[in-house]
Structure 1
Amino acid sequence: MEQYREQLPLLEQLSKEVYNQLRQVLQEQAVELSGIECRVKTESSLAGKLERKGDKYASLEDITDLVGLRIITFYTDDVDKVAAIVQQLYEVDWSNSVDKRKLHELTSFGYNSLHYICRLKGGKIPFEIQMRTALQHVWSAIEHDIGYKGAVKLPPEYRRQFSRLAGMLELADDEFSRLRTTMTDYRRQVQALVKSGKLDEVLLSTDSFRSYLELRPFQRLNQRIAAVNQAEIFPASLLPFLSVLESFGLDTLGDVQRFIDENSEDAYQLSLSQLAVTDLDILSESIGLQNLCLAYVLKNGGGVAGLKAVYDLLYGKQGGNETLAELTLEQASHLPFVKK
């Protein structure tokens, strides 16, 4: 205990150093985490450990978890990725490290962490790094909260209930990782279909619309509109328009392309009526898509209510949207495509 008190400042410094290094490197490697925890074992906790297992330790250096860190990932396969990064950063004491995921015990789900005993390269003080998923972490916390441990003797019906729940969570952990892989493959397929021009085969979604925007489908219309006042185009996100396009019943990227082709000239004419009497020389990149949507509503007799619905989706429901819709209708009232 005297050794511990003397080394406590070094232990706290080591804890902060390793924590900061791991957080930075994992962020650089784009590993999404639920969290990183670190702690230095308290004096009372160490005293309790020595009372229970003191005969195992000859000196303070034999206690490998005075400094402990826990890295919590969202996915099971990211645990292995974190482990590979830890192996590169630190010296791992393989004789004292353990992969509890290989225990395969029915009640062990909450303890299926990967435990590495490490040292800084050239360092002497050991520290423990636990790696587990968020579901494993939650399960372990629940077990601790309700006082259940796998070694505790409980009636068979209670142990069976815990085993069933642990099995469900373990299955969910695996399925989340599998689903992420499936979604990654799907996004790659969508990107390939978009680049090849097979737009009718791609359902309209956030991912597919984002890939479609990389083709800059509204650039030509924007350039025509900007030429009215020799304006500069200011970058803006077009993703908020996805909900508007979906409200029009567009299901595929092919539908979006036809929507553009069929309404571009009307959107340009609407822009002319709005800009010709102004000296605006800076326009948002969303001008073309916004006027495509507004022209579509006007062509289909949506009137003020339809225009307001578009503005509500784009800007949220607010009092000024109806006034804006009335102004838009007034500006477009003389255009031949407007359905009365």
Structure 2
Amino acid sequence: MTSPNWKAEYAEVRSKYEAYEKKLRELVCEILDHAGIDVFQVEGRVKTLDSFDEKIRRKSGKYDNPLTDMTDLVGVRIIAHYVEDVDRIVELLGKEFEVREEHSMNKQDELAPDQFGYTSNHLVVRIGSRSERLEWAKYADISVEFQVRTMSQHAWAAMHHKLGYKREADVPVPLQRKLFRLSALFELADEQFSTIKDAIDTLSGEYSDSVRHGILDMNVDAQSIEAYLRNSTKVSTIIEVARKLRITYWESNLSVLVAIAGALDARTIGEFDGLLPDGTSAHRVLTAFLSVFGPRSEGRAIEVSLGSIIATFNGLTEEQFTRIFPDSDSTGWRMFEVIHKRLRSQE
């Protein structure tokens, strides 16, 4: 067939490739979720008619049947947060699909030490054993190109594409050093993000050990509060009291808890611990919530956050309240004030 005829053939069946891309993207999201891998984005695309036609002309004679021989008619890009996640994802995809090794590569491995460019893993696959299932059978002969990259690699690729340079040789010599330095910074950023993530994990473990041993002199920050919430007997008691009162408890955003601690001058986790009510006081606070919201909440559960409990128990000014809870309107502040006054009257 001539190129225009192949283009017409592709136009007739392109909807099939679009359906495959959508179904495949959903499958990849399920696979990643099941593996506990959080990613920034999963996106897909199907090659356009003009791009399909241009590639046939550019690679004249390469394809006996472009509809089955072309490996990138369907593409799925997975943008990960960390470099180590890229390796995990590539390994996972290799187990879930039939990898066409002759077409797959880690483009980073192709760069010499003195070359610039920050690229990604390209994995060409077919659906593999899933083709035995009826819903996947019609896609058995379609190859898919997975691109797995970090956010930094994605940013580099987007800017490099915007500049219009496909190869190092295309770049004017005066600009090559600048691009080399820039690509090195992107790569360094990925390394540093991974280092910081590891440091956070280590710090969280140290915080957790300290809380379990009653050592609460660490400064208040998101990691120390998170470790405190996981290991505090006071928090466990509050949760148990809420359960007995049939109140739905939730922890609040860590940033909210840090902000409340700052507003109430709690600089250490020990001081933050002092802001929480003990078992008897927790019962009083949550009962006050019930007395205010109960009659208005028939047929639905009452939800109370740890941030609301701390704020109510200790009292906040209206200015502090609206700054920490910006989504709350004047009604929210008035209800908070009613609950706080009711608690004070019971003392």
Q: Does TM, normalized by the shorter one, top 0.5?
A: yes
The letter for the 1-side match of 2:17 is: L
User: Aligned pair 1:156/2:164, yes or no?
Assistant: no
**Corresponding residue number in structure 1 for 2:135:** none
Trace 1:148-297 onto structure 2 (pairs within 5 A).
148-200=165-217, 202-214=218-230, 215-217=232-234, 232=245, 234-239=247-252, 240-258=256-274, 284=304, 289-294=310-315
**Offset at 1:127?**
1.8
> How far apart are 1:152 and its partner, in Å?
4.0
RMSD (Å) for aligned C-alpha atoms: 3.9
Gaps of at least 5 residues in structure 1 are 295-305, 336-340
Q: Which residue of 2 is the match for residue 55 of structure 1?
A: 61
What is the one-letter code of the residue matched to 2:192?
E
Q: Give SS of 1:39's match.
A: strand
CA distance in 2, matches of 1:279, 1:159: 66
Q: Answer whether contact 1:109 1:136 (CA < 8 A) is retained.
A: no
Conserved 8 A contact 2:249-2:305: yes
Contact 1:264–1:292 under 8 Å retained in 2: no
Cα separation, partners in 2 of 1:57 and 1:254, compared to 1, 3 Å: same
1:211 to partner: Cα distance: 3.1
Counterpart residue identity of residue 198, structure 2: T
The number of equivalent residue pairs is 314
Q: For residue 297 of structure 1, what is the aligned residue in structure 2?
A: none
Which residue matches 1:34?
A: 40
Which is greater in Rg? 1
Q: How far apart, in 1, do the equivalents of 2:279 and 2:251 lie? A: 20
Match of 1:134 among 143, 151, 168: 151
Shift of 1:243: 1.8
For each residue in 1:281-321, what CA deviation from the matched residue of structure 2 results, as whole angstroms up to 9, or x when unmatched?
Answer: 98957576345423xxxxxxxxxxx6435533554486565
- Residue 21 (str. 1) matches residue 58 (str. 2): no
User: Is this contact kept in 2: 1:96–1:117, CA < 8 A?
Assistant: yes
Contact 1:218/1:288, CA 8 A, preserved across alignment: no
TM-score (normalizing by structure 2): 0.74
Measure the CA separation in 2 of the matches of 1:63 and 1:192. Answer: 55
Provide closer, same or farther for how the CA distance between residues 219 and 129 of structure 1 changes in structure 2, counting only shifts above 3 A: closer
Alignment-mate amino acid for residue 31 of structure 1 = I
Moved more, 326-335 or 56-65: 326-335
Residue 119 of structure 1: aligned partner? 126
What is the CA-CA distance between 1:108 and the residue it aligns to?
A: 4.4
Deviating more after overlay: 239-248 vs 158-167 = 239-248
Q: What are the superposed Cα offsets for residues 24-51 of structure 1, whole Å, 9 maximum, x if unpaired?
A: 2112323222222222222221221122
CA offset digits 1:229-255 (Å, max 9, x no partner): xx9362334544442222233222222
Structure 1 residues 325 and 84, CA gap change in structure 2 (3 angstroms): same
Describe the shift of the 1:48–1:247 C-alpha distance in structure 2 as closer, same or farther (beyond 3 A).
same
Q: Which moved more, 1:133-142 or 1:280-289?
A: 280-289
The AA in structure 2 aligned to 1:164 is: R
TM-score by length of 1: 0.75
Partner of 1:86: 93
Q: Quick one: structure 1 residues 24 and 265, their matched pair in 2 at CA, closer, same or farther if it must change by over 3 Å?
A: closer
How far apart in 1 are the matches of 2:268 and 2:162? 49
Of 174-183 and 318-327, deviating more is 318-327
Shift of 1:87: 0.7
In structure 2, C-alpha distance between the alignment counterparts of 1:46 and 1:28, rounded to whole Å: 34
- State the match for 1:100 in structure 2: 107
Q: Which runs of 5+ in 2 are unaligned?
A: 130-139, 296-301
In the alignment, residue 216 of structure 2 is paired with which amino acid? L
Contact 1:67 1:128 in 2 (8 A): yes
